[in-house]
Amino acid sequence: MKRLLTGTRIYLSGFQEEDVTAIREWSQNEEVQRLLDALPHKPKTEEDIKKWMGDPGDNAYRFAIRLKDDGRIIGFVELDGILWTHRVGWVSISIGDEQSWGNGYGKEAMQCLLAYAFHELNLYRVQLTVFSYNERAMRLYESLGFKKEGSYRQFLQRDGDRYDMILYGLLAEEWKGKVKEG
């Protein structure tokens, strides 16, 4: 049986006390935060981070992304807003460690999270939103089989320019077909 939360070079785990330092650094990084959140950038305190790292509740699952070779945290993935009756949830990812950008770790982490969502939690659909300026993330989502379903036009203003927020969705059978392909 394949391990759900383990990729080739990464694995997903719970958070540890020592992760607070790295996550706090990422919260100070304006570029990281602007890829993740529509809210104005606001660095988080240690207490904010500890609270966030705690129990996400009954309708959410949050995992640290760690490198297999040294166990170092490089980001996180989350499955939240789950509507169990409809078998639908929202996914998100952040690779906060800039040195880890562009190495395919995000794709591995998302593959693990999607396997968990569709096989373990038996969800039928997952969805996400992404800002139109985050082209790297859109390429990732499309490579995983997500379909662009619509846009919230000119949803966000950053540095005097307006950007769309794009909705992507992925159904269980689309994901299973994508996994078989490749």
Q: Judging by DSSP bridges, how do beta strands 88-95 and 125-131 pair with one another?
A: parallel
The reply to whether 82 falls in a domain is yes
> What is the residue-averaged pLDDT of the chain?
91
**What residues does 171 pair with on adjacent strands?**
125
> Has residue 17 been placed in a domain?
yes
Output the pLDDT for position 1.
41
pLDDT at position 46: 86
Q: Is residue 2 part of a domain?
A: no
First CA to last CA distance, the chain: 19
In total, how many domains does the chain have? 1
For residue range 43-102, what is the model confidence (pLDDT) as tens digits?
A: 788 888 888 888 788 899 999 999 999 999 999 999 999 999 999 999 999 999 999 999
What residue numbers bound the domain in which 112 lies?
10-181
122 domain residue, yes or no: yes
Q: Is residue 4 part of a domain?
A: no
Specify if 5 maps to a domain: no
Give CA 96 to chain center in angstroms.
11
Asked if residue 1 is part of any domain, the answer here is: no
